[in-house]
Structure 1
Amino acid sequence: MEKTAMVFRPKMIIAGASAYPRDWDYARMRKICDATGAFLMADIAHISGLVATGEANSPFPYCDIVTTTTHKSLRGPRAGMIFFRRGPKSAEEGAPSYEYEDAINFAVFPALQGGPHNHQIAALATQLKEVATPEFKAYAKQVKSNASALADFLTSKGYKLATGGTENHLMLWDLRPLGLTGNKMEKVLEKVHITLNKNAVHGDVSAMAPGGVRIGAPAMTTRGLKEADFVKIGEFLVKALDIALDLQKVSGKKLVDFLKALDTNKEFGDRLSALCTEVEAFAGAFPMPGH
């Protein structure tokens, strides 16, 4: 990054990702920005719940601007927040000058948005109050522990994860060594009521046939699952993988043929139904919050 930044001299460097299982070195990125005159912005949409509880590195000491959604690991309503540095707009020579406030506020209103959604603001305030509690801190720690448990299980079985594991709430399972694409795995898991998403992994050349799937821990942690339960989820994933690989042997590698066989092959339909029954029985022991 430093070498590239020195060549292209960007006006802004953004620290943020949607499928990155490691922590961020904001201090290192700050040095690069200082050397090139760039702004540093962090998008912590996926990890804001971990940042807020000290379970992930904080971007705030280093970044000029920080943005986040509020409905992912922060576990709030669907909304967003923008943080920016404030200070003298006309600083003394050599001192930092902060001129973000007017530009950002104008960009939000009236440039892009109109009437405020007061119900969303109230819901967000309620959730941020919860974020400050010891219970939310325990949740954030458990999210990381559960993700690590699942990652350790998959790697112990010889499967490949991007970066070899996880330090946060998610992992990226690289299916390419198995000859399977993420979209096929995603569709098989939908049949057994397990939700994850196909995701590109480093080296992929097409987003239409990504080489992996992204797995997150926050939702099931909220339902009360612990480390051993995530190992059980790992067992379900492996069973689904075996079905997907066997089905591909019958259907061939074309996605359209795979999906047709997924919907019409009775043998595999029976196997999927049996696994779905296992998944539902397991999940039924962990009710949704509020129910």
Structure 2
Amino acid sequence: MTGPLDAVDPQISELISREAARRAGSLQMLAAETIATPAVRAAMGSVLADKYAEGYPGRRYHGGSDVVDEVERLAVDRAHTLFAADYVNVQPLSWALANFAVYAAFAQPGDQVMSLSLRHGGHQSHGSRANLSGRWFSVVNYEVRHDTEQVDYDRIRDMALIHRPRILLAGGTAYSRTWDYAAMRTIADEAGCVLWVDGAHVMGLAAGGVIESPVPYADVVSVATNKVMRGPRGGLLLARGEHAEALSRAVYPFLQGAPAMHSIAAKAVAFAESSTETYRRYARDVAALASDLADDFTARGLQVVSGGTDTHIGIVDVTPLGVTGREATRRLAASGIVVDKAITPFDRAAVSEGSAIRYGTAAITAEGITPADAPAIADLMMAAMTSDDAAVHADVAASVARLGASE
């Protein structure tokens, strides 16, 4: 049990090698993914993975925690510096658990929550009936405008003053525009509710100075450390100081036992790396590449939801090509380009089919693709989506491999 992986478990070793080869020969354009840095991966694979450290620094249930206390304090200090938040909790094992901690800290089952509709760019954990959030809480959804496909703050205010929710939630996973956090703060104050920003997708861009941070405006911000930020899979909470005790108790002991100390160490690494000019250049390129791709698709006759993007996400209506989002995704995958199928706001297509694709630019930027490559990528994607010919897909895949190899 002390040998190398390929000797101990050749099946898993071979599968890992296949996944590495798959990624190397294709464009990974999922909005929820980037690529962890070598230093982050080193921390994840460290001896810290063996340590059980239930509790918080200085108040652990288990002994032998002196070193991991220092690790967690360092991660918290670095997050304070990076995000300028009064309160930081680095223990959530995932972004979804960070979200559930927000509910636990501020609401009781049956309380009302206002959030962006799932069909208009929200997330399942914001009140879907398929999710705990939609079964335990009374959820009122706001939607984007028909004409701009962007959120309408006047409408949100009207709804908030009528419903007086316990929590007003800003954020989504298929909404490509920045939010007016100051406006949301004003609405929350008028309605007497907690303002929660789900910043899972955008806080990596905020860390890089590309978009405004919600931290000065929100009561609490939940973060994923692995979507744009090149950290480990995990969650993070940033909040005002007065919410420290409620959120700390919500994470532990209400939702979780011991934290993953190797992940917390990797988060600390990611926070340090995200404070560098190298990271800031990466974040700028992520957003610029997404915006340039949106412009290129528009120039090629496709409609981009909301007319473009301010983030790393683009949602493109592919119905003018005579395909569904699902079919376009299949054709792209056959050509070495990995995206998600999606629906558009007010989409009449079934969710299982969708009328759109959703792309993200964090992973390909991490691999060296630049905004200058946007026209070539758009051309390759159009070629793949407009043909069901295996030979065409093979040609596109070959071009994709050459594009990746040239970076």
TM-score by length of 1: 0.83
Q: 2:222 aligns to what?
A: 67
Q: 2:19 aligns to what?
A: none
Q: 1:283 aligns to what?
A: 404
CA RMSD, 1 decimal: 1.3
- Displacement after TM superposition at 1:277 (Å): 1.6
Contact 2:203–2:213 (CA under 8 A) maintained in structure 1: no
Q: Which residue identity lines up with residue 170 of structure 1 in the other structure?
A: I
Gaps of 5+ in 1: 87-97, 248-267, 287-291
Whole-angstrom CA distance in 2 between matches of 1:189 and 1:21: 21
Q: 2:178 aligns with which of 18, 23, 28?
A: 23
Q: 2:239 aligns with which of 74, 84, 87?
A: 84
Q: 2:212 aligns with which of 21, 35, 57?
A: 57
Whole-angstrom CA distance in 2 between matches of 1:285 and 1:13: 46
Listed one character per residue, the Cα deviations across residues 110-142 of structure 1 (whole Å, up to 9, x for unaligned) are 121112211111111011100011111111111
Whole-angstrom CA distance in 1 between matches of 2:174 and 2:374: 19
Whole-angstrom CA distance in 2 between matches of 1:133 and 1:185: 38
- Aligned pairs, number: 251
Q: Which runs of 4+ in 1 moved over 2 A?
A: 100-103, 176-180
Q: 1:274 aligns with which of 382, 389, 395?
A: 395
- Displacement after TM superposition at 1:22 (Å): 1.1
- Displacement after TM superposition at 1:101 (Å): 2.2
Q: 1:93 aligns to what?
A: none
Contact 2:384–2:392 (CA under 8 A) maintained in structure 1: no
- Displacement after TM superposition at 1:174 (Å): 1.1
Q: Which residue identity lines up with residue 397 of structure 2 in the other structure?
A: C
Whole-angstrom CA distance in 1 between matches of 2:161 and 2:319: 34
Is residue 2:338 matched to residue 1:161? no
Listed one character per residue, the Cα deviations across residues 240-273 of structure 1 (whole Å, up to 9, x for unaligned) are 1211xxx4xxxxxxxxxxxxxxxxxxxx222222
Gaps of 5+ in 2: 1-155
- Displacement after TM superposition at 1:201 (Å): 1.0
Q: Which residue identity lines up with residue 235 of structure 2 in the other structure?
A: G
TM-score by length of 2: 0.60
Whole-angstrom CA distance in 2 between matches of 1:75 and 1:27: 28
**What percent identity do the matched residue pairs reach?**
35
Whole-angstrom CA distance in 1 between matches of 2:259 and 2:235: 12
Alignment of 1:1-291 (within 5 A): 1-86=156-241, 98=242, 100-205=243-348, 206-243=350-387, 247=388, 268-286=389-407
- Displacement after TM superposition at 1:178 (Å): 3.6
Whole-angstrom CA distance in 2 between matches of 1:273 and 1:137: 36
- Displacement after TM superposition at 1:224 (Å): 1.3
Whole-angstrom CA distance in 2 between matches of 1:153 and 1:101: 45
- Displacement after TM superposition at 1:74 (Å): 1.0
